[in-house]
């Protein structure tokens, strides 16, 4: 019979889990952990992390802390509106990822920034 368990157990062995189940992984996280929904092939499981993986940023909400995706043109960010590293083909300027740099600045492909 499928098990719904709390804390760390077989099938959802993660330190940050508060409750978890074999099929969904973490269902809720301990305080200060972020819930990240990870897709592995056809599966999608909950994972509790102290910090979100690259490409995501942590959002603290009353009901739960979650990892939220950065904008599509952004590889890593503080939040939805402040990128720290752009995807290839985009250039960082004032926290935004631009395809073209403003006048007076040029594109640096190595840093992916307007310099």
Residues interacting with another protein, by CB under 8 A?
2, 4, 19, 21-25, 27-28, 35, 37, 39-46, 59, 61, 63-64, 66, 68-69
Least Cβ distance, residue 107 to another protein (angstroms):
27
- Cβ 42 to another protein, closest distance in Å? 5
Whole-number Å distance between alpha carbons of 97 and 67: 20
Ramachandran sector of residue 34 (left: φ over 0; alpha: ψ -120 to 50; beta: rest): beta
- Would you say 43 or 108 has its CB closer to another protein? 43
- Asked if residues 98 and 91 have their Cβ atoms less than 8 Å apart, the reply is yes
């Amino acid at each position: 019979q499928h098990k719904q368990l709390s804390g760390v157990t077989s099938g959802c062995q993660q330190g940050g889990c508060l409750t978890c189940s074999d099929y969904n992984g973490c269902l809720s996280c301990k305080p200060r952990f972020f819930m990240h929904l990870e897709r592995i092939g056809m599966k999608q499981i909950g994972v509790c992390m102290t910090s979100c993986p690259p490409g995501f940023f942590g959002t603290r909400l009353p009901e739960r802390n979650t990892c939220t995706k950065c904008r599509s043109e952004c590889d890593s960010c503080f939040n939805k509106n402040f990128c720290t590293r752009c995807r290839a083909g985009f250039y960082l300027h004032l926290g935004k990822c631009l395809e073209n740099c403003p006048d007076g600045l040029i594109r640096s492909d190595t840093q992916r920034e307007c310099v």
